[in-house]
Amino acid sequence: MKPQPLLPSRAPKKASLEKEVIYPILDEALFCTISYVQDGLPFSIPTSFVRYEDKLYIHGSVGSHFIRSLETGIPVCITIMLVDALVVARSAFSHSVNYKSVIVFAEAEKIESPQLKWDSLQWLTEKIVPGSWNYLRPMTESEVRKTTVLAFSLDQASAKSRTGMPNNEEEDLPLDIWSGIIPLQHKRLTPIADDLSQHIPLPEHLR
């Protein structure tokens, strides 16, 4: 039996092991950070990813040192964080952040199945730019061979989040100091064409 992920020792009430909490965070986030130790040195690499069912998929060049290290099956820690608001209290000590985060402990599984490899590249492409897979020039067999796809089990994943207004200290409540939240947004803006695409109408999936 695989060990279950530990809930954080600080504010464990904000944490969850439920898939219904973890998976939506993974589906919203575009990027994760993968951390590992090799030859006694720490590494932490940001990369794009996609979740499909109970696994997380990443890709990279077959020659990438990062990918070649992970495909050996060394333990990794994968982190994802989405920030919703800055929490401004009446004291700097009580400032905080409204966020959603996921931590995954896993080892990489190299995808050897040609069909699963192709599917995972489609899942990732559709997540980053929805509706683009069938619009783009199809990937060639050579491009697929030059790409490694790794999968990570989500069996050992946990989520943590914070919502709401500041938790001001009792002695700070009477102070005439503003407190509240500063909402943050991360959204897609109007696409900007490169020089070669100035005469090409913006495709519907990018509108």
Q: Which domains does the chain have, with CATH numbers?
A: 12-166 (2.30.110.10)
Cα–Cα separations (whole angstroms), residue 207 to 127, 187, 188: 16, 13, 10
The pLDDT mean for the chain works out to: 94
Contact assessment for residue 59 and residue 150, using Cβ atoms and an 8 Å cutoff:
yes
Model pLDDT, residue 13:
74
Task: Collapse the DSSP code of 27 into the 3-class scheme (helix H, G, I; strand E, B; otherwise coil) and give the result.
Answer: helix
Contact assessment for residue 121 and residue 169, using Cβ atoms and an 8 Å cutoff:
no
**Mean pLDDT of the region 70-91:** 98
Contact assessment for residue 117 and residue 60, using Cβ atoms and an 8 Å cutoff:
no
Q: Alpha-carbon distance 127 to 45, whole Å?
A: 20
Q: Alpha-carbon distance 177 to 83, whole Å?
A: 24
**Segment 83-100, tens digit of pLDDT:** 999 999 999 999 999 999
Q: What is the value of pTM for the model shown?
A: 0.91
Q: Integer distance in angstroms from the first to the last C-alpha of the chain?
A: 47
**Mean pLDDT of the region 181-205:** 96
**Segment 41-68, tens digit of pLDDT:** 999 999 999 999 999 999 999 999 999 9
Model pLDDT, residue 1:
38
